[in-house]
C-alpha cells in the first residue's frame, strides 16, 4: 500500500509543480503557509520510505505490485529498523498537518469568505 501511495505522492508533486505559476501567494503568514505545505509533501514521501525501511529492517523483504523486489531474509538490519521507527511519529505529524490544513481551508471559507476552498476543490 505504501509503495502505491509513494507513486501517488510523486504524481501529486508533479501536478503541484506544474500548477505553481497559477497559485496565489499567501497574503497572511506566508512563511507558515509555505512551511506547512512543504511539511505536508515531506510527510507524503517520508511515510512510505519509513514504512519500507521498517519492513526491510525487520527482514521482511519488499514486494512491489506482486513482484518480489527484495526477498525476505529474516535477518534484521538495525539501522533500517531505526529509520522505520520514525514511521509512527511522522504519521501523527501528518495527521496534525492535515487537520490544520482542513481548519485553514474552513477558516478561509467561513470567516474570510474568499475563494480558497473553491480553488482547492477545482471549482474556481
pLDDT tens, residue by residue, 12-63: 889 888 888 877 777 778 898 889 999 999 999 999 999 999 999 999 988 8
Q: Which residue has the cell 469568505?
A: 113
CA distance 57 to 86: 12
pLDDT at 124: 65
Query: Cell 521482511, residue?
Result: 60
Per DSSP (E only), the strands in 33-111 are: 62-64, 67-70
Which pLDDT does position 50 carry in this prediction? 94
What is the Cα–Cα distance from 85 to 34, expressed in whole angstroms? Answer: 27
How many whole angstroms separate alpha carbon 24 and alpha carbon 20? 9
pLDDT at 115: 83
Query: What's the pLDDT score for residue 25?
Result: 74
Per-residue pLDDT of 54-87, as tens digits, reads 999 999 988 888 888 888 888 999 999 999 999 9
Amino acid at each position: 500500500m505504501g509503495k502505491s501511495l509513494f507513486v501517488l505522492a510523486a504524481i501529486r508533486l508533479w501536478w503541484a509543480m506544474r500548477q505553481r505559476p497559477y497559485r496565489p501567494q499567501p497574503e497572511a503568514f506566508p512563511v507558515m503557509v509555505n512551511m506547512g505545505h512543504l511539511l505536508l509533501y515531506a510527510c507524503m514521501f517520508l511515510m512510505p520510505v519509513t514504512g519500507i525501511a521498517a519492513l526491510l529492517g525487520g527482514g521482511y523483504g519488499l514486494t512491489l505490485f506482486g513482484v518480489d523486489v527484495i526477498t525476505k531474509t529474516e535477518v534484521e538490519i538495525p539501522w533500517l529498523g531505526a529509520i522505520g521507527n520514525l514511521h509512527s511519529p511522522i504519521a501523527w505529524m501528518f495527521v496534525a498537518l492535515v487537520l490544520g490544513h482542513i481548519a485553514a481551508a474552513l477558516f478561509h471559507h467561513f470567516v474570510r469568505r474568499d475563494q480558497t476552498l473553491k480553488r482547492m476543490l477545482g471549482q474556481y
